[in-house]
C-alpha cells in the first residue's frame, strides 16, 4: 500500500508499528482507537505485514486510522520458533519500515512502536522523530526484566539463570523494586527457558529503553502502583499507564451476530442462567498437546458445568467429546462474552490482554499459564489481587499435564462459589465507560496524592521523609510521591518505606552532594533557580494527579507552582520556629542599628537584644549565621522564601509546641495561614524495633561495644554530615578526648582511620551509626553535637544532655536554645567569630566535668533533660500537642482530595 493524499498542515501524523503477533497488534490497535477518539486532528498510519493486513484489514476502525503494509519477512505461523521469529523481526523489518516512512504523506511527526521492536528507537533518533515505546504487558513483568538487566550488567555470568530457578523454585524473591514477594519458579518462563538467544534479544530491548521519549504501559496504575512507582523513579522520561488497551470503546456498537460458520454463541449465552457459564480460552499463539486438550474435554463433560470453549482448530473434533453442557467454537468476541451476564468465570492462559479484559468484566479466573509473562500474570491474579485459582500440572512423559481429575475439582469449586460472598470486590475493577453494559460500576476510593519536595540536603530529606511516613500511617487513602534528584534517589532509594510512599526523581541539575559543601552559597542559589522546571514536568506525569504539595519552605518556588495549578501547598519549616521568627522580624534589626553586621570579632557581638517577639534575650552573635556573617545573597533568598509563606495554605513546624510556645503563639497571631507544630519529626516510630546493624569492613559492632560499658558513661560525638570541621580542630578534639579518660563513641565519617590512631583505647570511632538507637542506649551519658535541628531533637527525645559545637546556619541559634532556654547543655564552641580553635586542654577539662555524674550541676542538667524528654514524648502520645496537630493536618489533606 502506498498512501499519499495531502492532509491539512494542522494534522499530527503518527505511525504505529506493533510487534507482529495477535496480542501485540490487538493492544496497539486498541490504543490507536482510543487516541483517535481523543484528538480528531490525529492521523494514524497503522503498519503491519501484508499477511497481517489480510487478517485485520477489514476490521472496523475510525476514519483517521489507515493501514500501511510492508512485505512479509516471516509468516506468523513461524512464531512457534519464538527465538528465530524474533531474530527475523529484529533484523529484516527495519529497512522496509524506513522505506515506507519515506513514502508517507504528510511527514511523520511521531512514532509509537512496540517496545519489543528495539530498532524504531534508534531509527527515531537518526531522523529526529520522537518515539513512544508501547509495552503491551504488565508493569510488573517489565520491572522484573529491567532489574534483571541492571543486575546482569554488573554480573554478566548470570545472564541465563533458568537452571538455578529450576532447582530452587520454592525460594522467595523479595528485593525486586515494586514487586511483591514471588517464588523463583514463577520467574522461570520470564527468563526464556531453553531460549538463551531470546533472552539476549529481550535484554537488548531493555538496554534501549531510556532512548525513547515516552514509555506507554498497557496497564492500569491502580492494579500495579508499586511497579509503576519504581519505573517512574528509574526512567528520565514520562511513564504513562494507559491500560486497559482493550476494545471497550466498541462494546456498545458491536454486532450480536457472528460469521456464517460459527454458531450463535451469544444467543446461547442469552439462554443460560446468570453467572453459570465458564468461559475457556487459552490464547491464539501456543498449541497445547492433544492429550491435554482431551483431558480438558473429559473434565468439562464430567463436571456438569456449563461452558463456552474457544478451541480454534480443534473445535470440530472436541465438540463430539464435550457433552451437551457447553459450546465449542473456533473464535468469539472475547470481551463481549466476558461482559455477558451469564458468564461467571474465565479459564485463561493469562495472556495480559485476556487478564485485563477479565478484570474489566469483573470475572474471576482459573489460571493455566503457559509461557513468558503468563506465569507472573497468574501469580498476580492468584496472590496479589486474589481473584482466581491456579491449576497445577504434573509431569506425564515429556509434558506437564493437568489430569481430568485435577481439573474437575476447581471447575466445580468455581461453579459453586461464583458469588459476591466468595469473590469479594477487590476494588480493582476497571470502571466501564459503556453505560449500556449490565454491570455494577466500582467507584474508586478518593485518594489524596501528596507530592513531597524536600530541600536536597541530608537533614532536610530525613525530616521530610519522617513526616511522610507519619502521614502515610494516618490514612489508607493517601499516596505520597517523594521527589528527589537522581543522585539522592541512588542514596536513599533502597531505604525501607511504607507501600503508599513512592519515589519520583528529577535530573541532577545541582552540584553533587559530595562537593556541595565547598560552596554552600552557590548550591543554595542553584536550588532556587534550577529545580522548579523539572519538578513541574514531574507533576505533569504523576498519576493520579497531585492534590497537595508539601515543600520545604526554602524551596519557595513550589508555592508558585501550586498556585498556578490550583494545588494547595503546605510549607514545611524543618528547623526551629525560633529561627523562622527571627527572619520574620528581620526588619527590627536595621531599625535598631544591628544590621548591616557589626565587627563581630569585637565585644559588640556579645551585646544582647530582646526586641524580637517570642525570643528571649539573645546575643547578636547567636543570630543565624547568614545575618551575623553578612551572607547577603543567602539572606536575601531566605527572606524571599518567608515572603511566600503567606501564599501557602498551611505552615508546618518541625518542633514541639511546649519547647517553643512563645514563638509559636506569636507566629499564629501574625500569619494568615494555619500553623501546625508537628515535631519531633525524627524516626521515633522505628524506636525500639529490632533493627540489624552492620559494620563496614572490620569495624566493631558499636552496639555490642556499648552493651559492655557502664550506664551513662559514654560520650557520643557526631558533628553532622555536611559542614566540615577543620583538620586541626579534629586533632584538638581527638587529643582532648584522649586526655580526658572518658569513654566515647565518635562518628567521624571520612576521618575514621586516621583518628583511630590518635584516640587511645577509651573509645570507638566509626564512620556511621544509627544515631537514635545509640542515643537511646543506657550506656550513653552525653551527646557532643553540631546542633543540627534533627540531632538536637533526637537528643531531647532521648533525654541526653548536650555539649554544643555549632558551625553555621541555624546551629548557633539551636545551641542558644539548648544552653540558655532549655538548660540541658553547655557550649564547647562559644560562637562563630573568627577561626580560633578550641584547644585540647579546654576540651579535656570540659568533657571530664560534663561526664561527672556526681556533680550537682550535672545532676541538675540531667534532671532537666529528663523533664524535656517527658514533654517530648507526651507531645507525640495520644492527645498530645504534636499528635493532635498531625491528625488535624491529615484531615486537611483529606479535604483537599475531596475525601
Q: What is the DSSP string of 794-842?
A: HHHHTT--EEE---STTHHHHHHIIIIIS--EEESS--SSSS----HHH
Band of pLDDT at residue 432, cut at 50, 70 and 90: very low
pLDDT at 855 over 60: yes
User: Residue ranges of the domains in the chain?
Assistant: 12-241, 248-417, 448-684, 698-876
- Answer for the pair 329, 311: CB distance below 8 angstroms, yes or no: yes
Helices (H) and strands (E) in the chain, counts: 35, 32
Kindly give the residue spans of alpha helices, DSSP state H, lying in 271-380.
290-303, 315-319, 334-338, 352-361, 374-379
Q: In this prediction, what percent of the chain has a pLDDT beyond 70? A: 78
Task: For CA atoms 802, 806, 809, 814, give the dihedral sign.
Answer: positive
- For the segment 192-208, the average pLDDT, to the nearest whole number, is 68
Question: Which one is predicted more confidently, 184 or 317?
Answer: 317
CA 899 – CA 894 distance, rounded (Å):
5
Whole-Å CA distances, 527 to 474, 534, 641, 789: 31, 12, 12, 20
Cis amide prior to 79 (ω within 30 degrees) = no
Q: How many CA atoms lie within 13 A of 588 on its CB side?
A: 13
**CATH for 248-417 (3.40.50.2000, 3.40.50.720, 3.40.50.2300, 1.10.10.10):** 3.40.50.2000
What pLDDT, on the 0 to 100 scale, is given for residue 88?
A: 83
pLDDT for the residue 187: 60
pTM: 0.57
Please write down the HEC assignment for all residues of 587-647. Answer: CHHHHCCCCCCCCCCCHHHHCEECCCCCCCCEEHHHCCHHHHCCCHHHHHHHHHHHHHHHH
Determine the Cα–Cα distance for residues 100 and 833; give it in Å rounded to an integer: 74
Looking at residue 345, its pLDDT comes to: 92
For residue 174, give the C-alpha cell.
Answer: 523479595
Q: Look up residue 748 and give its DSSP letter.
A: -
Q: What per-residue confidence (pLDDT) applies to 60?
A: 84
Segment 137-160 shows an average pLDDT of 70
Predicted confidence band at 612 (pLDDT cuts at 50, 70, 90)? very high
First-to-last CA distance in the chain? 54
H or E element that contains 744: strand 743-747
Bridge partner list, 200: none
Q: If you average pLDDT over residues 211-215, what whole number do you get?
A: 85
pLDDT in tens, 806-842: 988 889 999 999 999 999 999 997 766 556 789 999 9
Judged against a pLDDT cut of 90, whether residue 800 lies above it is answered with yes
Residues 6+ apart with CB under 8 A from 42: 11, 12, 14, 35, 36, 64
Fold agreement between 248-417 and 698-876: yes
Q: Which CATH superfamily is domain 448-684 in?
A: Glycogen Phosphorylase B; (3.40.50.2000)
pLDDT digits (tens, 9 = 90+) for 250-283: 665 554 444 454 457 888 899 999 999 999 888 7
pLDDT at 699: 43
Domain 698-876 fold: Rossmann fold (3.40.50)
> 317 falls in which pLDDT band (50, 70, 90)?
confident
The fold of 12-241 is Rossmann fold (3.40.50)
Residue 694 confidence (pLDDT) above 50: no
pLDDT band at 108 (very low <50, low <70, confident <90, very high): very high
Q: Answer with the residue of higher pLDDT: 550 or 316.
A: 550
**Cα torsion at 694, 698, 699, 705 (round to 10°)?**
90
Look at residue 601 and tell me whether its pLDDT is greater than 60: no
The pLDDT score that the predictor gives to residue 77 is 64
pLDDT band at 443 (very low <50, low <70, confident <90, very high): very low
3-state secondary structure of 650: strand
HSE-up (13 A, CA, CB side) for residue 17: 29
- Picking from 498, 499, 464, 500, the residue whose alpha carbon sits closest to that of residue 479 is 500
3-state secondary structure of 540: helix
Locate 70 and state its grid cell. Answer: 510492508
- For residues 424 and 79, the model is more confident at 79
Cell numbers representing residue 249 in the block: 470503546
Percent of the chain past pLDDT 90, that is, above it, reads: 43
| Angle at CA of residue 591, ends 589 and 596, nearest 5° | 55
Helix (H, G, I), strand (E, B) or coil at 427: coil
CA–CA distance from 659 to each of 4, 627, 802, 822, 861 (Å)?
A: 76, 24, 16, 8, 16
Amino acid at each position: 500500500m502506498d498512501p499519499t493524499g495531502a492532509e491539512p498542515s494542522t494534522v499530527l501524523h503518527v505511525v504505529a508499528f506493533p510487534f507482529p503477533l495477535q496480542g501485540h497488534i490487538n493492544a496497539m490497535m486498541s490504543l490507536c482507537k482510543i487516541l483517535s477518539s481523543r484528538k480528531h486532528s490525529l492521523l494514524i498510519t497503522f503498519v503491519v505485514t501484508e499477511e497481517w493486513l489480510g487478517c485485520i484489514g477489514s476490521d472496523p476502525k475510525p476514519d483517521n486510522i489507515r493501514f500501511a503494509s510492508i512485505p512479509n519477512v516471516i509468516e506468523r505461523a513461524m512464531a512457534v520458533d519464538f527465538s528465530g521469529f524474533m531474530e527475523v523481526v529484529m533484523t529484516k523489518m527495519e529497512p522496509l519500515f524506513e522505506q515506507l516512512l519515506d513514502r508517507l504523506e504528510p511527514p511523520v511527526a511521531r512514532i509509537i512502536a512496540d517496545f519489543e521492536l528495539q530498532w524504531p528507537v534508534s531509527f527515531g533518533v537518526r531522523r529526529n522523530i520522537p518515539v513512544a515505546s508501547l509495552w503491551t504487558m504488565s508493569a510488573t513483568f517489565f520491572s522484573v526484566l529491567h532489574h534483571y538487566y541492571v543486575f546482569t550488567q554488573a554480573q554478566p555470568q548470570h545472564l541465563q539463570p533458568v537452571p538455578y530457578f529450576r532447582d530452587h523454585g520454592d525460594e522467595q524473591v523479595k528485593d525486586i523494586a515494586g514487586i511483591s514477594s514471588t517464588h523463583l519458579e514463577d520467574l522461570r518462563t520470564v527468563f526464556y527457558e531453553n531460549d538463551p538467544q531470546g533472552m539476549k534479544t529481550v535484554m537488548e530491548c531493555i538496554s534501549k529503553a531510556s532512548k525513547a521519549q515516552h514509555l506507554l504501559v498497557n496497564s492500569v496504575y491502580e492494579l500495579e502502583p508499586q511497579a509503576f512507582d519504581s519505573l517512574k523513579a528509574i526512567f528520565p522520561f514520562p511513564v504513562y499507564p494507559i491500560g486497559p488497551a482493550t476494545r471497550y470503546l466498541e462494546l456498545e456498537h458491536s454486532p450480536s451476530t457472528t460469521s456464517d460458520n460459527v454458531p450463535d454463541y451469544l444467543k446461547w449465552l442469552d439462554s443460560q442462567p446468570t453467572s453459570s457459564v465458564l468461559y475457556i480460552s487459552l490464547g491464539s499463539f501456543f498449541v497445547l498437546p492433544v492429550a491435554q486438550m482431551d483431558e480438558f474435554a473429559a473434565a468439562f463433560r464430567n463436571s456438569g458445568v456449563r461452558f463456552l470453549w474457544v478451541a480454534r482448530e480443534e473445535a470440530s473434533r472436541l465438540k463430539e467429546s464435550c457433552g451437551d453442557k457447553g459450546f465449542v467454537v473456533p473464535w468469539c468476541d472475547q470481551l463481549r462474552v466476558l461482559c455477558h451476564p451469564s458468564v461467571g468465570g474465565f479459564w485463561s492462559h493469562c495472556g495480559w490482554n485476556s487478564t485485563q479484559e477479565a478484570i474489566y468484566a469483573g470475572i474471576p479466573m482459573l489460571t493455566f499459564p503457559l509461557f513468558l509473562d503468563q506465569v507472573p500474570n497468574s501469580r498476580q491474579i492468584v496472590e496479589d489481587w486474589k481473584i482466581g485459582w491456579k491449576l497445577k500440572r504434573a509431569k506425564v512423559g515429556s509434558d506437564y499435564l493437568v489430569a481430568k481429575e485435577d481439573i474437575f475439582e476447581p471447575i466445580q469449586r468455581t461453579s459453586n462459589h461464583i458469588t459476591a460472598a466468595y469473590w469479594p470486590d477487590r476494588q480493582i475493577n476497571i470502571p466501564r465507560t459503556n453505560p449500556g453494559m449490565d454491570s455494577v460500576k466500582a467507584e474508586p476510593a478518593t485518594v489524596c496524592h501528596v507530592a513531597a519536595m524536600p530541600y536536597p540536603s541530608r537533614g532536610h530529606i530525613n525530616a521530610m521523609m519522617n513526616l511522610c511516613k507519619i502521614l502515610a500511617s494516618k490514612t489508607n487513602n493517601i499516596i505520597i510521591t517523594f521527589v528527589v534528584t537522581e543522585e539522592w534517589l541512588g542514596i536513599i532509594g533502597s531505604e525501607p518505606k511504607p507501600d503508599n510512599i513512592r519515589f519520583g526523581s528529577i535530573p541532577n541539575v545541582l552540584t553533587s552532594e559530595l562537593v556541595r559543601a565547598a560552596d554552600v552559597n552557590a548550591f543554595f542559589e542553584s536550588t532556587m533557580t534550577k529545580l522548579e522546571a523539572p519538578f513541574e514536568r514531574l507533576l505533569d506525569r504523576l498519576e493520579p494527579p497531585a492534590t497537595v504539595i508539601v515543600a520545604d519552605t526554602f524551596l519557595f518556588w513550589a508555592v508558585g507552582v501550586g498556585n498556578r495549578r490550583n494545588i494547595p501547598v503546605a510549607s514545611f519549616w524543618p528547623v526551629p520556629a525560633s529561627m523562622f521568627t527571627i527572619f520574620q522580624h528581620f526588619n527590627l534589626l536595621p531599625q535598631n542599628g544591628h544590621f548591616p553586621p557589626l565587627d563581630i570579632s569585637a565585644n559588640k557581638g556579645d551585646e544582647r537584644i530582646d526586641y524580637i517577639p517570642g525570643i528571649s534575650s539573645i546575643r547578636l552573635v547567636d543570630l543565624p549565621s547568614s545575618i551575623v556573617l553578612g551572607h547577603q545573597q543567602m539572606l536575601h533568598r531566605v527572606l524571599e522564601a518567608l515572603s511566600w509563606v503567606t501564599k501557602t495554605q498551611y505552615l508546618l513546624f518541625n518542633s514541639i509546641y511546649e519547647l517553643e510556645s512563645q514563638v509559636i503563639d506569636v507566629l499564629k497571631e501574625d500569619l494568615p495561614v494555619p500553623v501546625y507544630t508537628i515535631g519531633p519529626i525524627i524516626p521515633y516510630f522505628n524506636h525500639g524495633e529490632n533493627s540489624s546493624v552492620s559494620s563496614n569492613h572490620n569495624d566493631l559492632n558499636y552496639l555490642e561495644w556499648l552493651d559492655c560499658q557502664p550506664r551513662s558513661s559514654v560520650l557520643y560525638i557526631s558533628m553532622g554530615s555536611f559542614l566540615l570541621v577543620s583538620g586541626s580542630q579534629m586533632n584538638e578534639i581527638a587529643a582532648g578526648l584522649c586526655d580526658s579518660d572518658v569513654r566515647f563513641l565518635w562518628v567521624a565519617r571520612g576521618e575514621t582511620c586516621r583518628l583511630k590512631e590518635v584516640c587511645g583505647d577509651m573509645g570507638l570511632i566509626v564512620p556511621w551509626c544509627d544515631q537514635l538507637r545509640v542515643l537511646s542506649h543506657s550506656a550513653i551519658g552525653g551527646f557532643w553535637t553540631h546542633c543540627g535541628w534533627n540531632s538536637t531533637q533526637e537528643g531531647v527525645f532521648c533525654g541526653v544532655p548536650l555539649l554544643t559545637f555549632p558551625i553555621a546556619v541555624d546551629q548557633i541559634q539551636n545551641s542558644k536554645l539548648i544552653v540558655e532556654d532549655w538548660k540541658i547543655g553547655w557550649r564547647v564552641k562559644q560562637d562563630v567569630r573568627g577561626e580560633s580553635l578550641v584547644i585540647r586542654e579546654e576540651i579535656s577539662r570540659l568533657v571530664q566535668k560534663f561526664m561527672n555524674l556526681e556533680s550537682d550541676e550535672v545532676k541538675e542538667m540531667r534532671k532537666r533533660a529528663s523533664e524535656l524528654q517527658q514533654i517530648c514524648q507526651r507531645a507525640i502520645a495520644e492527645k498530645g500537642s504534636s499528635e493532635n496537630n498531625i491528625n488535624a493536618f491529615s484531615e486537611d489533606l483529606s479535604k483537599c482530595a475531596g475525601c
